[in-house]
Amino acid sequence: MLAQVVPLIPLVATVYILGDGGFDGVEWLAEIEAQDWHYVCRTSPSLLMTAFDYQVPIGDVPLAPDQAWYCPDARFTRQEYGPLMIIGYWEAGEKEPIYLVSNLTSPEKALALYEKRALIETFFSDQKERGFHLQASHLSIPERLERLLLATALAYIWIIYLGVHALKPRWRRRIHRMDRCDWSLFQLGLHFLAYCLKEGFPIPKGFLPPLPVPLTA
């Protein structure tokens, strides 16, 4: 995957790769660093860290809710890959902490960047099991999958537009509860579209910008 992405990235670009627990492999991290890119990836508390001449599972470092710790010059896994930074963070209200590995020097920046993953994950879910079910397409030819992704990306923007429209009290009371909202904008948009089609209401216009009018002599 990196071999395909690298030629597309300008040499002057600053790149941050954010990954879940499936992207904390030592070989993967080494490949990222070889490109002079940055990473913030989630990791398992059972993996080993070496710091101050001690080697312990990452999860053994004491951590309580609403607390964080970081080790800036740690070695990671039994291979003692590094040095890199390891972060433990337990956000208040969450059931368990998260642990991150990063080649950044600022734990605050690493945490701020990793929080952006939540925005990415919602799009993935809406494209797959919570929305368009792309995982069921069984397409294996890249060009066909590319065309399908282009179509669903445009449809996604349209559904989000409908979701924003559905927040208006006139429509929200028809498709969802008013005291709180348990649906994402995407889900609101889908339900709103289904409601309009079922009840015969016109679908709101305004998603596409007006096309430029050609100048004539």
- Residue 133 pLDDT greater than 80, yes or no: yes
For residues 192 and 175, the answer to whether their CB atoms sit within 8 Å is yes
Q: What distance, in Å, lies between the first and last C-alpha atoms of the chain?
A: 51
Confidence of residue 47 (pLDDT cuts 50, 70, 90): very high
Q: What is the residue whose two structure tokens read 């294996």?
A: 140
Q: How far is CA 60 from the centre of its chain?
A: 28
For residues 181 and 59, the model is more confident at: 59
pLDDT band at 204 (very low <50, low <70, confident <90, very high): confident
CA 66 – CA 160 distance, rounded (Å) = 33
**Which whole-number Å values give the CA distances from 83 to 17, 67, 71, 143, in the listed order?**
18, 23, 10, 40
pLDDT category of residue 214 using cuts at 50, 70 and 90: low
The answer to whether residue 17 scores a pLDDT higher than 50 is yes
Among 55-69, 156-170, 183-197, 202-216, the least confident range: 202-216
Taking 50 as the threshold, does the pLDDT of residue 110 lie above it?
yes
Task: Count CA within 13 A, CB hemisphere, residue 101.
Answer: 31
Give the pLDDT score at 217: 45
pLDDT digits (tens, 9 = 90+) for 69-83: 999 999 999 999 999
> How many angstroms separate the CA atoms of 195 and 86, rounded?
48
Q: Give the best-scoring range by mean pLDDT among 21-25, 85-89, 143-147, 170-174.
A: 85-89
137-180 per-position pLDDT tens digit:
888 888 998 899 999 988 999 999 998 888 888 888 788 877 77
pLDDT top residue among 97 and 3: 97
Average pLDDT, the chain: 88
pTM, 2 dp? 0.70
Q: What is the mean pLDDT of residues 207-217?
A: 54
Nearest to 24 by CA among 87, 91, 79, 76: 76
